[in-house]
Amino acid sequence: MIYPDYRPRRLRRNENLRSLVRETVLTPAQLIYPLFVMPGKNKREEISSMPGVFRLSVDQLAKEAKECRKLGVNHVILFGLPEKKDRVGSGAHATDGIIQRAIKELKNKAPELTVSTDVCLCEYTSHGHCGIIHEGMVDNDATVEVLARTALSHAKAGADIVAPSDMMDGRVGEIRAALDEHNFDQVAIMSYAVKYASAFYGPFRDAADCAPQEGDRRGYQMDPANAREALREATLDVEEGADILMVKPGMPYLDIIRLLRDEFDHPIAAYQVSGEYAMLKAAAINGWLDEERVMAESLLSLRRAGADMILTYFAKQMAKLL
């Protein structure tokens, strides 16, 4: 037996030593908590495929915000379920739309909280696609115009960050221009720069009632087979003025997070999406996985891959542990 001079186990002997050499840390300040906002009063509906996640009416938001703040989670992202939908997604940019009211409520009752908003049309269109449909196709340029109006309406309501998730070409630039033109030059853009056409969004589409009635999103979201294309998408968004680049989903795309981390200086966000949450929860509920440990490990892995911040339905639960 030849004894090695260097023994990695020396620094794993106890928690003090392990924490001394730990390369990656996770803090509540790096977590962004998604909120689903629904019409009505006193509503708090659990989403069946996402145990522990609720749709809330606007009047419930202040309480939720206080809970987040208490746990050190200072940042939420809003998704809206409008009262009614139409073919062009008018509800997305209505002055008194569900998200616009939600932003105002949060800014009034919990001004310390940073509020991001998802900018897309799929929750607001009757057909469930992320844009305006012309001749059976999602019309890129017509959609971009509506997205810019939507982002501007969020900024007017008080949003700190707008996050376009539609994957139309050129939308970041148009949104930046619209914001700047109206003196919202301090409103940041967190671009869903690299968003794959993923089956892991399933539970979210139930939660936000936004599954396409016909067809799928592969005509605008990225092909899961592509990595180099992620660099082109991110490059475009940087050139158009994105402040934060997001990769979505998270765990199946750790290589893409690392790729962007190595190639760009911009802050990078990872979205641990609904399907990732649902599968961990389901296994935990069945007693097949240790919930706290897989939650912590999955989030730490996103950080290790290079994400500065993480959007996750576990945000509050994780923060409680930290």
Q: Tokens 């067809």 identify what position?
A: 215
313 annotated to a ligand binding site = yes
- Is 248 an annotated catalytic residue? yes
Residues in the chain, how many?
A: 322
Exposed/middle/buried for residue 27 (C-beta within 10 Å: 0-12, 13-18, 19+) = exposed
The 10 Å Cβ neighbour count of residue 139 is 15
Binding string, 266-305, against Zn ion, x = CB under 5 A? ----------------------------------------
| Closer of 122 and 151 to Zn ion (Cβ) | 122
Cis peptide before 249 (omega within 30 of 0): yes
How far is residue 171's CA from residue 143's CA, in Å, rounded to a whole number?
9
* 63 carries an active-site annotation: no
Answer yes or no: is 210 a known binding residue. no
CB of 213 to ligand PBG, least distance (A): 13
Shortest Å, Cβ 15 to Zn ion: 44
Bridge partners (DSSP) of residue 137 are 134
Residue 269, helix vs strand vs coil: strand
Q: Which residues are bridge partners to 116 per DSSP?
A: 77, 161
In the bound complex, which residue of the shown chain has the CB atom lying closest to ligand PBG? 204
Judged by CB under 6 A, the residue of 130, 162, 190, 315 near ligand PBG is 130
CA 296, CA 273: separation in Å to the nearest integer? 15
- Shortest distance (Å) from residue 128 CB to Zn ion: 8
Instruction: Provide the terminal-to-terminal Cα distance of the chain, rounded to the nearest Å.
Output: 43
Q: What is the dihedral of CA 154, 238, 114, 132, to 10 degrees?
A: 30
122 binds Zn ion (CB under 5 A): yes
State the number of binding residues for ligand PBG (CB under 6 A).
11
Residue window 130-169: x/- pattern of binding to Zn ion, with contact defined by CB under 5 A: x---------------------------------------
The DSSP bridge partners found for residue 37 are: 56, 80
Determine which one of 85, 195, 281, 316 is catalytic: 195
Rank residues 20 and 225 by Cβ distance to ligand PBG and give the closer one.
225
**Does 122 interact with ligand PBG (rule: CB under 6 A)?**
yes
Tell me if 201 contacts ligand PBG by CB under 6 A.
yes
Which positions are annotated as active-site residues?
A: 195, 248
Residues that bind ligand PBG (CB under 6 A): 118, 120, 122, 130, 165, 201, 204-205, 217, 273-274
